[in-house]
Amino acid sequence: MKPRVVPSILSADFANLEAAVRLMEDAGADWIHIDVMDGHFVPNLTVGLPVVRRIRQVTDRHLDVHLMISNPDSMAVEYAKAGADSVLVHFEATTHLHEILSAIRRAGAWAGIALNPHTSVNVLEEILPFCDYILIMSVNPGFGGQEFISTSFEKVRKLVRLIQTRGLNRVRIEIDGGIGPHNSAEAVAAGVYLLVSGSAIFGSSDPAGTFRQMRASAESAAVIT
């Protein structure tokens, strides 16, 4: 299966998100990543349900919603109902993870767990069968444009081994933070399927070109491995 580059609109122009989505559609993006931050689980504050609903109205691409919010227990399913095609909740923010994932799936979306850099993949052992994908955070969540944490690909490889041991090869791996043209191939070689990228794409002088450069680099690594 071909890896996907997933533009994060966190680094796009918030006064014109539709244009950013359109730009990525035209570049060939199948997935768009939306970062929901509550100013509590992470210091930063971004967008919520109304913006997800509105973006849903202007694109048919897969909307990937990353919830960086405290107590997502009751709200996560609302994002699926608002039009998200996949919803990520943070392991560190939840109490009844199995219940949340089941509710997201019942609403028709992929259900995923995001792990902060300090959280071991071993915590996933019991919950993995109930997930569609896992997000490895390769920066501390909250802000775009941070430096990639160097041990993150080793963590991805550990997760690949856990997934294989459990015979759950359908569970996909996503990475988020400090991903750009320079490390896309390495990410895919480690086992990543979904490469989230914000500032590398939207901060470049040619966002569409950078997206395509990353996709080419990711796909070439997928052929080799």
Which residues contribute to the site for Zn ion (CB under 5 A)?
A: 35, 66, 176
- CB 206 to Zn ion: min, Å: 22
**Contact partners, residue 40, CB within 8 Å, separation at least 6:** 69, 70
Q: Which of residues 90-129 bind ligand DX5 (CB under 6 A)?
A: none
Catalytic residue among 35, 60, 64, 73: 35
Q: Are 180 and 151 in contact (CB under 8 A)?
A: no
77 or 214: CB nearest ligand DX5? 214
Active site residue 176: yes
The two structure tokens encoding residue 77: 């399913």
Closer residue to Zn ion, CB minimum distance, 167 or 177: 177
Q: Judge whether 35 counts as a catalytic residue.
A: yes
b/e burial code for range 214-224 (CB count within 10 A of at least 16 → b): bbebbbebbee
How far is the C-alpha of 153 from the C-alpha of 143, rounded, in Å?
20
197 contact choice in Zn ion, ligand DX5, none (CB below 5 to 8 Å, kind-dependent): ligand DX5
- The minimum distance between CB 10 and Zn ion, in angstroms, equals 7
The residues pairing with 193 across neighbouring beta strands, listed in sequence order, are none
CB 63 within 8 A of CB 85: yes
In angstroms, what is the minimal distance from the CB of 21 to Zn ion? Answer: 16
β pairing state of 133-137 and 172-176? parallel
Give 12 or 77: the residue with its C-beta nearer to ligand DX5: 12
Helix (H, G, I), strand (E, B) or coil at 43: coil
Q: Which is nearer to Zn ion, 66 or 90 (CB)?
A: 66
Pairing of strands 31-37, 62-68: parallel
Number of shown-chain residues binding ligand DX5 (CB under 6 A):
22
Which residues are marked as active site?
Answer: 35, 176
List of residues contacting ligand DX5 (CB under 6 A) = 8, 10-11, 33, 35, 66, 139, 141-146, 176-179, 196-200
